[in-house]
Amino acid sequence: MQAGDPVVGVAGAQSRSEDEESLGVKDGKRTATQAFGSGVPKRRSSSRSIKRKKFDDELVESSLVKSSSRVKGPPVIEPIRFSGSEPSSSEKKKVTKSGTSLSLPLTMVVNPAPITKRVKKSKQPLHITKDLGRWKPTDDLLLINAVLQTTDLTSVHLGVKFSCRFTLREIKERWYSLLYDPVISKLAWQAMRQLHPEAIAAIQSKALFSQAEEALLAKVGSTSQPKLDVFQELLSKQPAVFHQSRTPKSLLVHWQLLKQYYLLDDQSVQPLPKGDQVLNFSDAEQMVDDVKLKESRDEVLEHELMISDRHQKREIRQLEQELPRWQVLVDSITGMSMPDFDNQTLAALRGRMVRYLMRSREITLGRATKDKPIDVDLSLEGPAWKISRKQGIIKLKNNGDFFIANEGRRPIYIDGRPVLSGNKWKLNNNSVVEIAGLRFVFLINLELISLIKAEAAKMAPQ
């Protein structure tokens, strides 16, 4: 025997004694339960486990199990056991009581568990999501119905009104993607299935008419006035030709459009005249009878207009009669009676603030500047930013008449009558001259003008 053999035998004997004690305790418990169980009635038992308090070694084992389940990929510890030597029960108890301290005297090998990697879902390409966002399920349903009716994408582009203004190329790409792209077709189909039945019925009612449908409608005569019963009979006789959403009223409306554009079988479009005799707008306007265009006379309206015209004329006459009295009253209040002229003043242009004296046969009116002085600066009377630099010229002729010529851009009003640019007008005594909101009264020195007229008369016969 070797030196280590007695130790192994002692350890084995201790482990056997501990096992025998545990077995004796268990047998005692069984006999006790059997003895007391005979006198106690049996109770109903369930297969569920009874919750009881755990011992210390069980608590340690459960905590280790929970920590291993929470941590992803924990290292699995496997002891290497050599042949001929096994750990004793006392060593096992020490390991279990040590808890989290995993320092074992045996040599360990750590095998890392395989780490499960998260596989990210491949995102859809951006052009697909963008295309799906622009093309709505209503547009897809319209496109499908129109293609099934006409089998022509060009007519679909011209006849169908989508939610967006798509080009012919976009419509073709969408149709091909609905046919051959599984991702887009699946998403579009799911979106169309979520539409409300009323929305689907409204979209189907807008389906284009096929050539077979228009051929049947064109057979109805243009001279007849068909009612809804005629089209109801067409629907009942040809249910396979017409779309399921067609109604007699919709057929009647489309038949009226065909009649309007001369597309019925018994209608023929007149050809345009050949040669140079093409009817243009002016020729057609001359052919129109003017008598037919004249509206019928409304006697009641004409009578009311005549009465209102009479009232307006009567008011104008009354104002003209009262004007001299108001003029005298204004002159007496403002002191605008005939001014005292000297021997050198031919006329005067009186404003609200300033009085301009005319002492030469020709003067210029306007807005004075540093570079261009002027005879009568109207800016002294008030705001003259709308007045031209050379607005007008007042000239005295040899016969004693005063004339004003407009040289500016804005019109000059003489007694309420406009004098446009390049025109002239005669000025009388007390004439009201209005230039860009500034009003003046033109006053003539009648004594001096009468002398000038007399001298002119004397010089004429000579």
**Tokens linked to 279:** 């009817």
Given a cut of 50, whether residue 131 has pLDDT beyond it is: no
Comparing 17 with 339, the larger pLDDT belongs to 339
Q: Mean pLDDT, the chain, as a whole number?
A: 75
Residue 316: predicted pLDDT:
92
Provide the b/e sequence for 183-192 (b: ≥16 CB within 10 Å).
ebeebbeebb
Side chain identity at 32, as an amino acid letter? A
The HSE-up count of residue 457 (CA atoms within 13 Å, CB side) is: 7
Residue 59: predicted pLDDT:
56
Residues 137, 119: Cα–Cα separation, whole Å: 32
pLDDT tens for each residue of 187-228: 999 999 999 999 999 998 889 999 899 899 988 888 888 888
What is the mean predicted confidence (pLDDT) over 119-139?
60
Band of pLDDT at residue 147, cut at 50, 70 and 90: very high
Total H helices, total E strands in the chain: 16, 13
Residues 336, 441: Cα–Cα separation, whole Å: 9
Residues 459, 13: Cα–Cα separation, whole Å: 174
Residues 149, 156: Cα–Cα separation, whole Å: 9
Q: Evaluate if pTM is beyond 0.85.
A: no
pLDDT tens for each residue of 155-191: 999 989 998 889 999 999 999 999 999 999 999 999 9
Residue 268: predicted pLDDT:
79
Task: Give the range with max mean pLDDT: 79-83, 161-165, 276-280.
Answer: 161-165
433 DSSP β-pair partners: 414, 440
Comparing 399 with 147, the larger pLDDT belongs to 147
440 DSSP β-pair partners: 433
DSSP state of 339: -
Strand 362-366 to 376-377 pairing: parallel
